[in-house]
Amino acid sequence: MDFRIATRADVPAVLDLLADDEITRQRGFGTVPEQVDAATWAAFEAIDADDRNELIVAVHDQEIVGTCQLTFIPGLSRGGAERLLIEAVRIRADQRGRGLGGDLIRWTVERARERGCRIVQLTTDKRRTDAHRFYAKLGFTASHEGFKLAL
């Protein structure tokens, strides 16, 4: 298993992973269009050009089997250290239950530590009870309520 920053060529596979999720579908993410649209390419370019955003892919046998997005956020608390926000974590359905997700999150936590972050945070839908156990096992504490407002 290899973890690395996504390239432009990885974007369709990442979109497939994002769409392959029941809760995301309920939210209306919908099916992946045949062609990636201009706004999605622009978002990839924005992430790619930004030192504080990283789209990560997990690669196995030359296939993209997992992804997440990292955002490193500067702040005045905690002695000026950055915090890492993890978003959009996905493991391909046929690869779940093999420890790959744990490897991916541990890799991101190590990346945050090396960069000097003092905290790593994420939110996960309250219906994802498997995910809650997964993050607790990795040492995370469910100390916060996660509020969302769709615009």
Q: Which of 25, 52, 98, 137 touches a copy of itself by CB under 8 A? A: 52
59: which strand partners?
2, 64
Using the minimum distance from each CB to a copy of itself, give the nearer residue, 62 or 141. Answer: 141
Q: Centre a 10 Å sphere on the Cβ of residue 68 and count the other Cβ atoms it contains.
A: 24
Question: How many angstroms separate the CA atoms of 11 and 38, rounded?
Answer: 12
| Binding test (CB under 8 A) with a copy of itself, winner from 20, 95, 100, 140 | 140
Does residue 1 bind a copy of itself (CB under 8 A)?
no
Quote the tokens at residue 24.
């995301």
Minimum distance, C-beta of residue 130 to a copy of itself, in the bound complex (Å): 12
Q: Which of 3, 13, 15, 101 binds a copy of itself (CB under 8 A)?
A: 15
Least Å distance between CB 87 and a copy of itself?
Answer: 7
**Do 80 and 36 contact (CB within 8 A), yes or no?**
no
Q: Which of residues 98-137 bind a copy of itself (CB under 8 A)?
A: 109, 112-113, 117-126, 132, 135-136
Tokens of 73: 């956020």
φ/ψ of residue 143, rounded to 5 = -90, -10
